[in-house]
Amino acid sequence: MHIGKAIRLERIFNRNTGKTIIVPMDHGVTVGPIKGLASIRDVVTKLVAGGANAGLVHKGQVGLGHRMEGSDFGCIVHLSAGTVLSPFPNRKRLVTTVEEAIRLGADGVSVHVNLGDESEGQMLSDLGRVAASAADWGMPLLAMIYARGPKIGNEYDPDVVAHCARVGAELGADVVKVNFTGDAESFSRVVASAGVPVVIAGGPKKDSTRGVLDMVRSSLDAGGSGLSVGRNVFQHRDPVRLVAVLRRIVHENMDVDSALEGYENIL
């Protein structure tokens, strides 16, 4: 492995466990300044206090969401974008480059692809070009791959999710982010067929904090490498304590009940 990539990956993945807690905060472009993201700096302060490994932001927010003094909080710069205001909301376009992310001090970059969308071909082409550039520079690449389009009946179907993960791996991603399939047995097949570390998305804000924790635990039991969860973390009433519990589950391999001891009030 490129030494630069190895160094950067250690800022995203815990070197002892090989797992990660990533909190994406790129939602301001997609859906606007939603609850919990009014101040990126405030969110990052809470995430660092709880013990998250890395945050994911667009280039204009790096100065507010990068590593803070005394912390090893990693920074992933998201390279692609699209908004819900567009007539083609699932179409993602590249809005910056690996080289600009390097100038900003990023530890990794990410690209979003929606398989099944009419513009799938362009998004796959973009992912391939970014993967080549990232490999040249020793920059870790996270590929967010979802199935969203007119032919997609269920984006959480295990076969569909496994296809998403495999596409990211085949096109050069170092890490793939996909939907959780609902149980450890089916998700283990996704992980096994990917060949690179797999992290789960959180999806829309959930009503149950326990449900989020159980989902994370099941994904780890299936061989997953952690999580990349946004709204279910930064919109929680106590992100600091929630991340602390997630850290127990992800990096100390605790079951949910054990991880919640002393933190039951987050439920």
Please report whether residue 141 resides in a domain: yes
d(CA 228, CA 236) in angstroms, rounded, equals 15
- Over residues 146-157, the mean pLDDT reads 96
| pTM greater than 0.95 | yes
Question: DSSP assignment of 57-94, as one string?
Answer: E-GGGHHHHSPPTT---EEEEE-EE--TTSSSTT--EE
Give me the chain's average pLDDT, please.
Answer: 95
Those residues whose C-beta lies under 8 Å from the C-beta of residue 56, and which sit 6 or more positions away, are: 22, 23, 24, 25, 26, 76, 77, 78, 110, 142, 228
- Looking at the structure of the chain, the number of domains it has is 1
Does 207 map to a domain?
yes
CATH of the domain at 132: 3.20.20.70
**What would the pLDDT profile of 196-248 be if each residue is shown by its tens digit?**
999 999 988 888 999 999 999 999 999 999 999 999 999 999 999 999 999 99
Indicate which residues carry an active-site annotation.
Answer: 26, 146, 177
Digit-coded pLDDT (tens) for 154-167: 999 999 999 999 99
pLDDT digits (tens, 9 = 90+) for 71-130: 789 999 999 999 999 999 999 999 999 999 999 999 999 999 999 999 999 999 999 999
Tell me the residue range of the domain where 26 lies. Answer: 3-249
Q: What band does 70 get if pLDDT is binned at 50, 70 and 90?
A: low
Domain-located, residue 30: yes
Query: Considering the domain boundaries, does residue 33 fall inside one?
Result: yes
Each residue's pLDDT tens digit, 177-209: 999 999 999 999 999 999 999 999 998 888 899
Domain membership flag for residue 59: yes
What per-residue confidence (pLDDT) applies to 1? 78
Within-domain flag for 257: no
For the chain, the straight-line distance linking the first and the last C-alpha, in angstroms and rounded, comes to: 41
